[in-house]
Structure 1
Amino acid sequence: MTGIDSVEISQAIVHKVGNPSRGEDLKLSANTLSLNDGIVRGILAKYFLAPFNVNEQYHFTHISDIGLNEVYSYVGQIFDNPKKFASQSALLATFLYNKSTHVKVKEGEMYVVHFKNVPFDTEYVEAIGIFKSESKETFLKVFPHGQGWEVAAEDGININKLDKGCLIFKVNKSEGYVVCVVDATNKQNDAQYWVNEFLHVTPYADSYHSTNNVLSMAKLFISTEIAEQFDVNKSDQIDMLNRSMEYFKTKENFQFEEFAEEVIHHPEVMEAFSNYKQVYEQAKQVAIDDEFAIHVSAVKKQEKLFKSILKLDKNFHVYIHGRKDLIERGYDEVKSKNFYTLYFDEES
């Protein structure tokens, strides 16, 4: 998030949340943080808010009634009556504690913060932040001792690495607010309790998430699924990845059939891609429209993940950016080795 210099921390409190399955305790704080030091307030605002991507917007959900979503309800109480901040933060911490039973969930500090003047679109709004720090790092502290200096080791929190967080803007209350989420410690494993068990949020159906979902789906299909069903080599896969990214960088709108024809080409592979879309939607619990406006920010985010590197054993890494027709693959019978032939005009 940018433009956080104007943000005001109105109230903040810290609770200690353990894992009940390991016998760890929930320790609730009775008092809010004083935060009289302006430098500390600025550091905390940056630590809490900088990691969020405001384009990735979610909203609270519930299977029957949004009012029964615990986090939505407790946060709404704070928005309606800031004097309830401490009591509602304790309810949030208790609810998180009850959801922290997975074996991989670590004990940590939970921060609840009431912000004012948070930038949102073209205005400034109130927001509630819920954060959890699980990772500790060792820092060296140098201090004067007599006529010299001494060094001591202390465990602390890296202010450049927020483990978990959600930021709830006081916007669209009837739809479940607008929520941004960070989960840096459990992206790939089954301990995604922060999003699934605690927050219960789902993405807004907008162009950012649609763009992000299709690029993620295409990358998975081309990198893994296609090699299991068809006879393709790595350079062919890289060429498809490059064409996928080129499509999204040069078009204003996405059309599923057009994308399949321009990127996949072959009818049988296009059919497999169409089938994979249904599997992906069910597995990820998302709905991907056949047509939508392409979001530039989502393309830039995904571009970092689209690798065009052809790795040949441990000896060579070849970066392929285009012109598949200038690459030929073969097999040397004498050396019993695969080989690539690369055609080029100039060496630099």
Structure 2
Amino acid sequence: MISFFEASLTTLSVHYVGNKMQDEHYALSENPVEINDEILKNLLMQYFLSPYEKVNELYHLFHTSENPDLNEIFHFSSAIFSDPATFHENSKQIAKFLFDVASHPKIKSGELYVAAFHNVQVDGELHDALGIFKSETKETYLKVYPQGGGFGLAYEEGAINIHKLDKGCLIFNTEKEEGYKVAVIDQTNRTTDAVYWKDDFLKLKVRNDNYNQTSNVLGVYKHFVTEKLDESFEISKADKIDLLNRSMKYFKDKETFDIDEFSNEVIGNAEGIESFKNFKENYEKEFGTPIAGTFGISDAAVKKQARVYKSVLKLDKNFHIYIHGNKDLIEKGFDDGKAMNYYKVYFNNEQ
């Protein structure tokens, strides 16, 4: 949870980063921006920070050698946190580094903002933070103004919509040994060819907190039910939906996840439980992401995963059956006369 009701913007430097694949260059400012207008400062705070109020997933800066000091953004951030007087010079180095790694022709040029904040709240604690933001999308705005006995119209091209932050990250001055606590936004260039902000520029690793543990278990279990179960068991789609519904109910009702309790209450079959635990272990080894046997359940992660948990049974192109509760009230059969499958549904009231 990130909020900024106590936050203040202390320093801001702005640079321009082009796409070298398009023979563009970068332009570095000589000094930080002086902001004397409080309205402008508040607008910048809204532009930079308000999108993070809905961000729950946090990361760490990392390096493949497991030494975060070798991560360039970690290096520049550490220098700024240690000595704020080096802020502008390190902001230039950040812009140069972004120019070097943005080596895909689809990457858009734009302004790079490097900002220092005081008292940004994350997970209930106040910390100084370094913000790195890039504006890539420009818009045209109409202006209406009084003129004579009526109104005149004008427009401004190449303006920035403060409600649409293209790319950004907040690096909080905490958990330095693990690579700092980092929140990230990337609204453009989401294709695999152009995902450079998280991977090449920041080099992020998921922070293994309750949010990510909850997301991982729900994601792994969903994949196990929808893709893996068919390899070992004969199971209907209605039964799969029931297993998914029961898992979601478990996460909504409980405050703490326990792997044994979850397996017994949701799966309830010794062979199925063993298959799920083996599937989870293979996932941990393949992706290098350990999942704890017990952890606090994140409500935010449950709500996000609930959107992709399907409870609909699609029958040809004629019917959709939504299954939200007791699967014993739906029966599957085969009609020899019609040579077709059927479902029988029991209910009390029709609405």
TM-score, normalisation: structure 1: 0.86
User: Deviation digits for residues 203-245 of structure 1, max 9, x if unmatched?
Assistant: 3333222112111212222233435664434322221211111
Q: Larger deviation: 92-101 or 232-241?
A: 232-241
* Residue pair 1:2, 1:50 contacting (<8 A) in 2 also: no
- Give 1:113 shift: 0.7
Greater displacement, 320-329 / 53-62: 53-62
The residue number in structure 2 matching 1:206 is: 209
Alignment check: 8 A CA contact 1:4 1:46 kept: no
What's the C-alpha RMSD, in Å, of the aligned pairs? Answer: 2.9
In 2, the alpha carbon distance for the partners of 1:311 and 1:110 equals 47
Tell me, yes or no, if the aligned pair for 1:61 and 1:200 is still in contact at 8 Å: yes
Confirm or deny: 8 A CA contact 2:130 2:172 kept in the other structure: yes
1:30 and 1:219, CA in 2 relative to 1: closer, same or farther beyond 3 A?
farther
Cα offset, 1:93, TM superposition = 1.1
> 284-293 or 137-146: which moved more?
137-146
CA distance in 2, matches of 1:143, 1:233: 65
Instruction: Give CA deviations for 1:293-314 in whole Å, capped at 9, x if unaligned.
Output: 3233322332233232334455
Distance in 1 (alpha carbons) for counterparts of 2:51 and 2:24: 29
Change in 2 beyond 3 A, CA 1:317/1:17: farther
- Look up the SS of the partner of 1:212 in the other structure: helix
* CA distance in 1 between partners of 2:162 and 2:339 (Å): 53
Matched, 1:247 2:211: no
CA separation of 1:204 and 1:343: change in aligned 2, threshold 3 A: same
Match of 2:69 in 1: 67
Question: Does structure 1 conserve the Cα–Cα contact (< 8 Å) formed by 2:117 and 2:131?
Answer: yes
Query: Per-residue deviation at 1:246?
Result: 1.1
1:217 is aligned, of 217, 220, 229, to: 220
- What displacement does 1:128 show? 0.5
Report how many aligned residue pairs link the two structures: 348
Alpha carbons of 1:239 and 1:136: their partners in 2 closer, same or farther (altered >3 Å)?
farther
Write the letter of the residue equivalent to 2:70: L
Do 2:117 and 2:129's aligned partners in 1 also have CA atoms closer than 8 Å?
A: yes
- Residue 303 of structure 2 is matched in structure 1 by 300
> 1:75 corresponds to which letter in structure 2?
S
Please show how residues 225-264 of structure 1 align to structure 2 within 5 Å: 225-227=228-230, 230-264=233-267
Question: CA separation in 2, counterparts of 1:309 and 1:343?
Answer: 17
Spell out, residue by residue over 1:160-194, the C-alpha distance to the aligned partner (whole angstroms, 9 max, x if none).
Answer: 33332211111232332222222333567354322
- Residues 328 and 104 from structure 1, CA distance in 2 versus in 1: closer, same or farther, beyond 3 angstroms? farther
Could you tell me how far apart the structure 2 residues matched to 1:315 and 1:165 are? 45
Q: Which residue of 1 aligns with 2:91?
A: 89
d(CA) in 2 for partners of 1:209, 1:156: 36
**For 2:68 and 2:231, how far apart are their aligned partners in 1?**
42
Cα 1:124–1:261 change in 2 (3 A) is: closer
Q: One-letter code of the match for 2:312?
A: I
Residue 33 of structure 2 corresponds to 33
Q: Which is worse superposed, 331-340 or 271-280? A: 331-340
Deviation at 1:323, TM superposition (A): 0.7
Equivalent position amino acid for 2:84 in 1: P
Q: Give yes or no for contact 2:120–2:128 (8 Å, CA) kept in 1.
A: yes
SS in 1 for 2:119: strand
How high is the TM-score relative to the length of structure 2? 0.85
Q: Mind listing any 5+ residue stretches in structure 2 that lack a counterpart?
A: none
Aligned to 1:149: 152
Q: Which amino acid aligns with 2:130?
A: I
Quick one: which of 184, 188, 192 aligns to 1:185? 188
Query: Which residue of the partner structure matches residue 59 of structure 2?
Result: 58
**Corresponding letter in the other structure for 1:93:** A
Counterpart residue number, 2:349: 346
Distance 1:55 1:203 in 2: 12
CA distance in 1, matches of 2:139, 2:336: 54
Structure 1 residue corresponding to 2:115, chosen from 107, 113, 116: 113
Q: What amino acid maps onto 1:96 in structure 2?
A: L
Structure 1 gaps of 5+ residues are none
Identity of aligned residues (%): 47
